[in-house]
Amino acid sequence: MNNWKKCKLGDIAEITMGQSPKSEFYNFDNIGMPFLQGNRTFGRKYPYFDTYCTEYKKIAKKGEILFSVRAPVGDINFANNDICIGRGLCSMNAKNGENEFLYYLLHNLRSVIINNESGSVFGSVNKNDLQTIEILLPLLEEQRQIATILSSIDDKIELLHEQNKTLEELAQTLFLNWFKDREFNSTISDFISMQNGFAFKSKDFIDYGNNGVIKIKNISNGIVDIVNTDKISQNTINEVNNKFNINSGDILFAMTGAEIGKMGIVPSTNKKLWLNQRVGMVKERFLGARFLAYIHLTSEFGYDYVINSATGSAQENISATDIENCPFVKLTSEEIVSYSKQLNDFFEKIIFNLGEIQTLENMRDILIPKLLNGEIKITN
């Protein structure tokens, strides 16, 4: 670290602030250049596009870094095409060409950048805020080594996500082939029930501990985040029924608020996890039957049913009974066992991969500050 140089972000990166075209030049028909106003369609590392424009002012070139400068500040992606960027984004390009290193450096600087937010209603950062952030910069070869280490972890994570996408698509294809021409003359309560969560009190929560509580915020993109959980005391757990305990492979359901209908699978884990109120757990009556319910409830039909069944003017809710009453094909016990067994084989691999993904993500997130702050010295 003795060779690291103190400088500012603007010394190492060209920063281009976005500027939105007039709305009359927008379209949703793939005409012109992909357009991003902000981070709405950001992915894990690359964005997807649903808006295009035929006249543009500011462009992020393919391979440059996209950075969200308006609330929420700090989200980061790579440009996978030449992209027109609006006022919610800036693009950054490393002056030495090492954009992979710059990408991880920005991840490490997120908390610093967010602390520089201004704006009375919505947080934002400007070009000067970014350019003047002080950094410690390693020598070029070490920049490349750091980027190689971290990107190799991200590559493994992406491969596992792609495997899971393929497995789930195969499971969905089977599901459609089984049921596409059959009448919905029963409900999913034939093979699953819903378990409501426990109403933990604010006094039950502690800063540190081994017992994690899964809330709606932990469910995202079909995965349950078991790393960033709120904690509760062992004394509280001693008084909680084991039916609220969460295990690997459980399927959870958001039952209230703006996220209603969102579902996620618990990765392979040995952690002690507990179900919070307004999060539902799918309890199967036959081995693997929860996956029948998962595919059905995440389908267009299932999701529409959930949204249309929700009640409440201030905050929408759906009851366990309403979920159980989602229409489905009337199946014999033999059919349920056969279909569930086939889906279970796919999802066992998915669950294992989800555990690997969260382990790798946690490793990467631990390594980023240690490598970028010089706590870990890289040797050949």
**pLDDT confidence band for 163 (50 / 70 / 90):** very high
pLDDT above 60 (res 316): yes
Specify the CATH number for the domain of residue 120: 3.90.220.20
Query: Average pLDDT over the chain, rounded to whole?
Result: 95
115 with 223, same domain: the answer is no
Residue 370 lies in a domain: no
Range of the domain at 58: 5-137
20 with 74, same domain: the answer is yes
**pLDDT confidence band for 119 (50 / 70 / 90):** low
Residue 173 lies in a domain: yes
212 with 78, same domain: the answer is no
106 with 242, same domain: the answer is no
> 268: burial class by Cβ within 10 Å (0-12, 13-18, 19+)?
buried
pLDDT above 90 (res 308): yes
168 with 67, same domain: the answer is no
Query: Distance (Å, rounded) from C-alpha 325 to C-alpha 313?
Result: 22
Answer with the one of 137, 171, 200 that is the final residue of a domain.
Answer: 137
Both structure tokens of 138: 């390693």
Structural domain count, the chain: 2
177 with 71, same domain: the answer is no
Closest CA to 67 of 91, 84, 45, 98: 91
Residue 142 lies in a domain: no
Who's near 320: CB < 8 A, 6+ residues apart? 193, 194, 195, 196, 255, 280
Could you tell me which residue, 367 or 210, shows the higher pLDDT?
Answer: 367
pLDDT above 60 (res 120): no
Who's near 60: CB < 8 A, 6+ residues apart? 16, 66, 79, 82, 83, 85, 89, 91
Q: For the chain, how far is it from start to end, CA to CA, in angstroms?
A: 15
Query: Distance (Å, rounded) from C-alpha 350 to C-alpha 335?
Result: 23
212 with 131, same domain: the answer is no
Residue 361 lies in a domain: no
pLDDT above 90 (res 188): yes
- The DSSP letter of residue 346 is H
Q: Which amino acid is at 380?
A: N
User: Please, which residues bridge with residue 84 across strands?
Assistant: 35, 59
Tens digit of pLDDT for each residue in 82-115? 999 999 999 999 999 999 999 999 999 999 998 8
Contact between 17 and 67 under an 8 Å Cβ cutoff? The reply is: no
169 with 124, same domain: the answer is no
**pLDDT confidence band for 123 (50 / 70 / 90):** confident
Residue 15 lies in a domain: yes
Query: Which of left, alpha, beta for 153 (phi over 0: left; psi -120 to 50: alpha)?
Result: alpha
Please provide residue 212's backbone torsions phi and psi, each rounded to the nearest 5 degrees: -100, 145
**pLDDT confidence band for 71 (50 / 70 / 90):** confident
User: Please, which residues bridge with residue 279 across strands?
Assistant: 254
